[in-house]
Amino acid sequence: MSLFKTLSRCFVLLIGLAVAGCGFAPVYGTNGGAQALQNRVLVNAPNTREDYALVRQIERRLGRADTNEYRLNVDLEISEDGVAITPDGDITRYNVTGTATYVMTNATTDATAASGTVSTFTSYSAVGTTVVTLNAQEDARGRLALALADLILSRLLADTAS
């Protein structure tokens, strides 16, 4: 066995021991934060295509609520800005920026269990035909909603794990 393989295995073992010693527990493991929310979060009904994609992603990862233990209300705001402009004034690329403000409450007591704001962006090209550009815009908005849902879930799972 080479010295490199031996050293790398020792390094991995040391990292594993260090992580285990600090109280690290996987969120999706036994008694992890995901267990506390699995099938227990009722997400507010979607109004737009982007809302639907966000709710679908949250339900895909947490499951659909079979109990009404928690309610999650998400307010989604999306804006677009032209970022690549030709000398003729044509916009050839857009950034789609999204901000999601969320509040998860206990359905019985109405106490706030978690809240926060997440934001990210995606972009699309506008150099094709009108149909191609509209499809690219729709795809970018869908990707943005999925990314915002994943950011919300990361925060919720981190809050319940601690």
Q: What is the pLDDT of residue 39?
A: 87
Q: Has residue 131 been placed in a domain?
A: yes
Residue carrying structure tokens 């390094």: 11
Distance CA 96, CA 124 (A): 8
Give the total number of structural domains in the chain.
Answer: 1
pLDDT confidence bin for 119, thresholds 50/70/90 = very high
Give the pLDDT confidence score for residue 139 in this predicted structure: 97
Residue 25: inside a domain: no
Q: Structure tokens of 51?
A: 């809302």
What per-residue confidence (pLDDT) applies to 94?
A: 96
Least confident range from 7-11, 24-28, 42-46, 149-153: namely: 24-28
Residue 141 has pLDDT above 70, yes or no: yes
C-alpha to C-alpha distances, 24 to 101, 148, 162, nearest whole angstrom: 28, 25, 10
Count CB atoms within 10 A of the CB of residue 44: 14
- Tokens representing 124? 């699309």
Residue 3 lies in a domain: no
Reduce the secondary structure of 45-93 to three states and give it as a string: CCCCHHHHHHHHHHHHHHCCCCCCCEEEEEEEEEEEEEEEECCCCCEEE
Structural contact between residues 90 and 112, judged by C-beta atoms closer than 8 angstroms = no
Q: Residue 119 carries which side chain, given as an amino acid letter?
A: S
Is it the case that residue 133 has pLDDT exceeding 80? yes
**Domain of residue 126, CATH code:** 3.30.160.150
Residues spanned by the domain of 70: 30-161
The reply to whether 19 falls in a domain is: no
pLDDT score at 17: 54
Domain presence at residue 1: no
CB 157 within 8 A of CB 34: yes
Is the pLDDT at 25 greater than 80? The verdict is no
Query: For residue 5, is it within any domain?
Result: no
Residue 21 has pLDDT above 70, yes or no: no
Cα 36 from Cα 94, distance rounded (Å): 39
The residue that leads in pLDDT, 128 or 139, is 139
Asked if residue 78 belongs to a domain, the reply is yes
**What does the pLDDT average to over 64-91?**
91
Q: Specify whether the CB–CB gap between 32 and 25 falls below 8 A.
A: yes
76 lies in some domain: yes
